[in-house]
């Protein structure tokens, strides 16, 4: 199985390369830290598998977008997404974009190998934590963050109080509280600061 | 209308009071009247009572009510003992007395008291000469002055109320900005830790997993992986130290803006580049808000240079100009276009710009790809 590594951290690529190099059946044929470059390389090298990081900070597109484009231009190449910590949304987005697997960085190496083999054989290779996240999503659906919730989050990030947010959005304070409870649940946050941090991390609101 | 207008009006009224008393007494003296001693005593009592109520009223609290009542009685006696023409002059003291009564007593009581004073005034003048014009004028003048005085006081109260509200809003705004800053800073740190330390640790763990697996079959390779991990952990330690330094920025309390900037530059030199701090012009005291904004600007500029520019020379210039204070951070790095897609670390230009704009300042960025970047923050020179 010929594998292309896509991650913007050199050390992560080195670790993946070290793991795959010593594992029978795998060959790392190329690596890059840039999403657009990964598409060029995939077309060029025709790997069987692409291990794709979700966040590619130095490039114009992120891992989800690169996955989507790869699925369109190189359908024979299977993408397995790799992140350092997953959320339900991440898993759902990755699979929707066409990923054939989802593993966590620095998990048990066998899980990584198994996911890659499964994807290569035409299945969906999921790390067990990613499966759990998917199960949670099915059994306790949270739904996506709504536009209105994003409005609330944006004001929250500006340090506004509930009353000020209510005034700004022409809503009652009680409604804002309800929104906050939903936002906390959807983002897995316990308080305002955690909600803002998580929303920023997911790119739901700009950092500034 | 300003507070000064009111105090000037009050001062004018008080001045008129003492001029009338002193002037009338002087006139009495020149007439060599036998009443002199008695009038002097009464005048002194009147002046004393009035002065204490006017200037130390808030000090003696409720005690000023009997005092002003006694003062009013003294005035009544006075206008009844002095010769006619002088009594007419003394009667004008009704105006300052009315103003003080209005200030000291509750509104209803004040109106009744001023009514009594006006009645005393009118009856005295009427007794002296039954001429209508002679007493209607002082009465009207008294009430007109009282009305004006009351109006100005209520305007002042409204103005003070507005000022208090403004002050409270400002404080709240500052709190909110602070809170927003804290949240943005937390988000930035979470992201930083995720982007650097977490990734390098994940990579290291994978290298160690590979080394563990290859330990017996390929010891040379395993050893190579261990060395890679050792290097990575070395970088990790540096990165962790830098994050800790970011969490504890140089304090302004320890010696003002220049000392904090000096400390900031000293720390930055540890990451490699030659950093120079240049100060020109005569330094002036600066508001804490302005100091913080400029320090954060320098911090943000240096973080951006460190992350994206790859510069080896940085110049931090603080210019104390006549009209403004200018902070300029210049580097010889990659320039702004080189970081078009770079992630924002929360020290971003928009938040700095917002901060400076709130203080009436500006933030500009000049950059040529490949020829470095100059970031200039400017604040107007206003007293803190």
Contact B213 A109 (CB under 8 A): yes
Which of B176, B218, B232 is nearest residue A159 as measured by Cβ atoms?
A: B176
Quick one: which of A56, A58, A129, A67 has its CA closest to A93?
A67
Among A115-129, A143-157, B21-35, top mean pLDDT goes to A115-129
Closest residue in B to A17 (Cα–Cα): B207
Contact B182 A109 (CB under 8 A): no
Predicted interface score ipTM higher than 0.90: no
Contact B183 A16 (CB under 8 A): no
Tell me the shortest Cα–Cα distance from A108 to chain B, in angstroms. Answer: 8
Please give the residue that has the higher pLDDT: either A188 or A100.
A100
Q: Degrees (nearest 5) of the Cα angle B315, B335, B377?
A: 50
What b-and-e string marks burial along A122-143, b requiring 16 or more CB atoms within 10 Å of the CB?
Answer: eebbbbebbeebbeebeeeeee
Closest residue in A to B344 (Cα–Cα): A207
Q: Where are the domains of chain B?
A: 3-166, 252-384
Summarize the confidence of residues B274-286 as an average pLDDT: 88
Q: Band the pLDDT of B342: cuts 50, 70, 90.
A: very low
Residue located via tokens 């600066």:
B286
The pLDDT mean for chain B works out to 81
- Alpha carbon distance A42, A47 (integer Å): 6
- Alpha carbon distance A28, A2 (integer Å): 6
Contact A192 B183 (CB under 8 A): yes
Please tell me the predicted confidence (pLDDT) of residue B332.
Answer: 87
CB distance A136 to A88 below 8 Å: yes
Give pLDDT tens digits for B190-208: 777 887 888 899 999 999 9
DSSP, res B320: E
Just give the CATH number of A2-137: 3.40.50.2300
Tell me the shortest Cα–Cα distance from B188 to chain A, in angstroms. Answer: 8
Contact B218 A18 (CB under 8 A): no
Q: Band the pLDDT of B7: cuts 50, 70, 90.
A: low
State phi, psi for B361 to the nearest 5 degrees: -105, -175
Asked if A203 is an interface residue toward chain B (Cβ–Cβ < 8 A), one would say no
Summarize the confidence of residues B2-25 as an average pLDDT: 74
Which of A12, A192, A206 is nearest residue B199 as measured by Cβ atoms?
A: A12
Q: What distances in angstroms separate CA A130 from CA A90, A94, A104, B142, B186, one per listed residue?
A: 9, 11, 8, 87, 27
What b-and-e string marks burial along B317-347, b requiring 16 or more CB atoms within 10 Å of the CB?
Answer: bbeeeeeebbbbbbbbbbbbebbeeebbbbb
* Residues in chain A closer than 8 A to B203 (CB atoms): 9-15, 105-106
Contact B183 A13 (CB under 8 A): no
Contact A15 B203 (CB under 8 A): yes
CB distance B300 to B347 below 8 Å: yes
Q: Does the pLDDT value for residue A30 go beyond 90? A: yes
Give pLDDT tens digits for A17-29: 999 998 999 999 9
Among B153-167, B217-231, B272-286, top mean pLDDT goes to B217-231
**Chain A / chain B CB contacts < 8 angstroms:** 127
Tell me the shortest Cα–Cα distance from B342 to chain A, in angstroms. Answer: 6
Q: Does the pLDDT value for residue B1 go beyond 50? A: no
Which of B199, B213, B346 is nearest residue A84 as measured by Cβ atoms?
A: B199
User: Please, how many CA atoms are within 13 Å of residue A110, restricted to the half-sphere of its CB?
Assistant: 2
Residue B231: count of CB within 10 angstroms of its CB: 14
Summarize the confidence of residues A170-199 as an average pLDDT: 86
Quick one: which of B348, B295, B355 has its CA closest to B174?
B355
Summarize the confidence of residues A171-181 as an average pLDDT: 87
Question: DSSP for B102-155?
Answer: HHHS-HHHHHHHHHHHHHHHHHHHHHH---HHHHHHHHHHHHHHHHHHHHHHHH
Please tell me the predicted confidence (pLDDT) of residue B343.
Answer: 43
Asked if A202 is an interface residue toward chain B (Cβ–Cβ < 8 A), one would say no
Give pLDDT tens digits for A93-129: 888 899 999 998 878 999 999 999 999 999 999 988 8
- Alpha carbon distance B294, B151 (integer Å): 45
Give pLDDT tens digits for B148-196: 888 887 888 888 888 888 888 877 777 777 777 677 767 777 777 887 8
Q: Where are the domains of chain A?
A: 2-137, 147-201
Quick one: which of B321, B329, B277 has its CA closest to B301?
B329
Terminal alpha carbon distance of chain A? 43
Contact B206 A109 (CB under 8 A): yes
* Residues in chain B closer than 8 A to A85 (CB atoms): 194
Contact B213 A22 (CB under 8 A): yes
Quick one: which of A17, A12, A15, A3 has its CA closest to A53?
A12
Give pLDDT tens digits for A31-64: 999 889 999 999 999 999 999 998 887 777 888 8
Please tell me the predicted confidence (pLDDT) of residue B338.
Answer: 43
- A 81-100 near B (Cβ less than 8 A): 84-85
Tell me the shortest Cα–Cα distance from B163 to chain A, in angstroms. Answer: 21
* Residues in chain B closer than 8 A to A62 (CB atoms): none
Please tell me the predicted confidence (pLDDT) of residue B348.
Answer: 64
Q: Degrees (nearest 5) of the Cα angle A1, A134, A124?
A: 20
Q: Does the pLDDT value for residue B58 go beyond 80? A: no
Residue located via tokens 């890659």:
A116
Tell me the shortest Cα–Cα distance from B229 to chain A, in angstroms. Answer: 9
Summarize the confidence of residues B242-251 as an average pLDDT: 71
* Residues in chain B closer than 8 A to A197 (CB atoms): 183, 186-187, 190
Q: Degrees (nearest 5) of the Cα angle B315, B321, B323?
A: 140
Please give the residue that has the higher pLDDT: either B188 or A69.
A69
Q: What distances in angstroms separate CA B337 from CA B73, B315, B316, B340, B372, one per listed residue?
A: 85, 20, 21, 5, 10
Please tell me the predicted confidence (pLDDT) of residue B370.
Answer: 78
Tell me the shortest Cα–Cα distance from B306 to chain A, in angstroms. Answer: 15
- Alpha carbon distance B93, B292 (integer Å): 56
Q: Is residue B141 exposed (0-12), middle (13-18) or buried (19+ Cβ within 10 Å)? A: middle
Topology, domain B252-384 = Heat Shock Protein 90 (3.30.565)
Please tell me the predicted confidence (pLDDT) of residue B339.
Answer: 45
* Residues in chain A closer than 8 A to B357 (CB atoms): none
Q: Does the pLDDT value for residue B333 go beyond 80? A: yes
Quick one: which of B360, B362, B357 has its CA closest to B328?
B362
Please tell me the predicted confidence (pLDDT) of residue A144.
Answer: 76
- Alpha carbon distance B101, B114 (integer Å): 7
* Residues in chain A closer than 8 A to B182 (CB atoms): 159, 193
* Residues in chain A closer than 8 A to B195 (CB atoms): 55, 57
State phi, psi for B354 to the nearest 5 degrees: -60, -45
The residues near B382 (Cβ < 8 Å, ≥ 6 apart) are B287, B360
To the nearest whole percent, how much of chain B has pLDDT over 90? 14
* Residues in chain B closer than 8 A to A110 (CB atoms): none
What b-and-e string marks burial along B12-28, b requiring 16 or more CB atoms within 10 Å of the CB?
Answer: ebbebbeebbeebbeeb
To the nearest whole percent, how much of chain B has pLDDT over 70? 88
3-state secondary structure string across chain A: CEEEEECCCHHHHHHHHHHHHCCCCCEEEEEECCHHHHHHHHHHHCCCEEEEECCCCCCCCCHHHHHHHHHHHCCCCEEEEEECCCCHHHHHHHHHCCCCEEEECCCCHHHHHHHHHHHHCCCCEECHHHHHHHHHHHHCCCCCCCHHHHHHHHHHHCCCCHHHHHHHHCCCHHHHHHHHHHHHHHHCCCCHHHHHHHHHHCCCCCCC
Residue B131, token pair as written in the block: 């001429």
Give pLDDT tens digits for B75-84: 888 888 777 7
CB distance A38 to A52 below 8 Å: yes
Contact A109 B210 (CB under 8 A): yes
Summarize the confidence of residues B336-363 as an average pLDDT: 66
Please tell me the predicted confidence (pLDDT) of residue A60.
Answer: 79
Contact A207 B225 (CB under 8 A): no
Just give the CATH number of A147-201: 1.10.10.10
Quick one: which of A78, A10, A7 has its CA closest to A38?
A7
């Amino acid at each position: 199985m010929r594998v292309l590594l896509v991650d913007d951290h050199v050390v992560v690529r080195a670790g993946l390369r070290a793991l795959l190099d010593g594992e029978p059946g795998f060959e790392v044929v190329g690596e890059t830290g840039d999403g657009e470059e990964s598409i060029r390389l995939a077309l060029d090298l025709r790997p069987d598998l692409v291990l794709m990081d979700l966040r590619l900070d130095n490039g114009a597109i992120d891992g989800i977008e690169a996955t989507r484009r790869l699925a369109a231009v190189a359908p024979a190449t299977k993408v397995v997404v790799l992140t350092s910590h997953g959320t339900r949304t991440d898993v759902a987005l990755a699979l929707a974009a066409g990923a054939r697997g989802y593993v966590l960085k620095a998990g048990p190496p066998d899980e990584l190998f198994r996911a890659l083999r499964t994807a290569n054989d035409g299945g969906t290779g999921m790390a067990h934590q990613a499966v759990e996240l998917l199960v949670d999503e099915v059994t306790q659906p949270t739904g996506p963050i709504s536009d209105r919730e994003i409005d609330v989050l944006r004001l929250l990030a500006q340090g506004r109080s509930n009353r000020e947010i209510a005034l700004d959005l022409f809503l009652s304070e009680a409604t804002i509280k309800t929104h906050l409870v939903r936002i906390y649940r959807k983002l897995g946050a316990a308080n305002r600061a955690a909600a803002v941090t998580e929303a920023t991390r997911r790119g739901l609101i700009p950092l500034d | 209308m300003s507070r000064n207008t009111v105090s000037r009006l009050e001062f004018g009224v008080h001045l008129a009071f003492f001029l009338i008393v002193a002037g009338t007494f002087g006139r009495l003296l020149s007439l060599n009247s036998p009443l002199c001693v008695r009038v002097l005593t009464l005048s002194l009592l009147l002046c004393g009572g009035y002065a204490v109520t006017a200037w130390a009223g808030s000090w003696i609290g409720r005690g000023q009510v009997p005092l002003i009542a006694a003062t009013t009685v003294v005035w009544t006696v006075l206008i009844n003992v002095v010769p006619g023409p002088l009594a007419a002059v003394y009667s004008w003291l009704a105006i300052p007395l009315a103003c003080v009564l209005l200030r000291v007593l509750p509104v209803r009581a004040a109106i009744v008291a001023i009514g009594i004073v006006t009645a005393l005034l009118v009856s005295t003048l009427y007794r002296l000469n039954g001429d209508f014009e002679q007493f209607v004028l002082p009465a009207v003048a008294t009430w007109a002055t009282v009305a004006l005085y009351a109006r100005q006081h209520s305007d002042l109260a409204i103005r003070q109320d507005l000022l208090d509200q403004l002050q409270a809003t400002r404080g709240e705004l500052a709190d909110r900005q602070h809170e927003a800053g804290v949240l943005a800073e937390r988000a930035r740190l979470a992201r930083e830790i995720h982007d650097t330390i977490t990734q390098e640790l994940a990579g290291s763990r994978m290298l160690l997993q590979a080394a563990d697996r290859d330990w017996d079959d390929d010891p040379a390779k395993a050893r190579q992986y261990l060395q890679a991990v050792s290097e990575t952990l070395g970088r990790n330690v540096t990165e962790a130290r830098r994050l800790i330094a970011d969490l504890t920025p140089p304090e302004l309390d320890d010696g003002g803006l220049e000392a904090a900037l000096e400390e900031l530059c000293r720390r930055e030199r540890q990451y490699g580049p030659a950093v120079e701090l240049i100060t020109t012009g005569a330094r002036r005291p600066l508001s804490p808000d302005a100091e913080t904004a400029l320090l954060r600007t320098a911090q943000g500029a240096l973080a951006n240079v460190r992350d994206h520019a790859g510069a080896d020379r940085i110049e931090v210039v603080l210019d104390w100009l006549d009209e403004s204070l200018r902070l300029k951070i210049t580097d010889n790095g990659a320039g702004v276009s080189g970081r078009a897609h770079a992630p924002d670390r929360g020290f971003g230009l928009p938040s700095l710009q917002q901060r400076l704009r709130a203080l009436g300042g500006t933030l500009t960025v000049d950059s040529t790809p490949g020829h470095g970047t100059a970031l200039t923050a400017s604040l107007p020179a206003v007293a803190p």
